[in-house]
Amino acid sequence: MIQQGEVYLVHFAKKYKSEFGKVRPAVILQNNFLNRALHDTNYQSVLVVPLSTKDEQTDYKIEITPRDNLKERSFIVANWLCTLDIERIQLDKGVITKLSSYELEQLKAKICDLM
């Protein structure tokens, strides 16, 4: 079962204008209650936030350092929430890394600032 705060490779498909494209790491933002129920519903979608290696500092990016299977310094792009089908998450590749509780709280705070 996927868990909130885990980072997986996700297939964002073909890039369209300013949208994210290709296979890239993304944080699972969806809560664990919904994650546990994924296979019991017709709507098997997951809320994720993509990572980018581009160092374009904005108020809505959170830097995470290389660790575990995340090989490059990356930035969580908090203002780009995506709901994707579970099949887009490359579960077979395993968890790349997991956010610390502090990083997850930072992400949630930045998203709340968007609202």
Q: Is the pTM of this model over 0.85?
A: yes
Q: Is 81 within the bounds of a domain?
A: yes
Question: Averaged over 74-99, what is the pLDDT?
Answer: 94
| pLDDT over 70 (residue 103) | yes
| pLDDT over 70 (residue 44) | yes
Q: Is 1 within the bounds of a domain?
A: no
Q: Is 52 within the bounds of a domain?
A: yes
Range of the domain at 36: 6-114
Q: What CATH number did the domain enclosing 41 receive?
A: 2.30.30.110
pLDDT category, 40, cuts 50, 70, 90? confident
Question: Across the strands, what pairs with 85?
Answer: 45
pLDDT for 87-100, tens place per residue?
Answer: 999 999 999 999 99
Provide the number of structural domains found in the chain.
Answer: 1
**Which letter, b or e, does each residue of 27-55 get, where b requires 16 or more Cβ atoms within 10 Å of its Cβ?**
bbbbeeeebeeeeeeeeebbbbbbbeeee
| pLDDT over 90 (residue 111) | yes
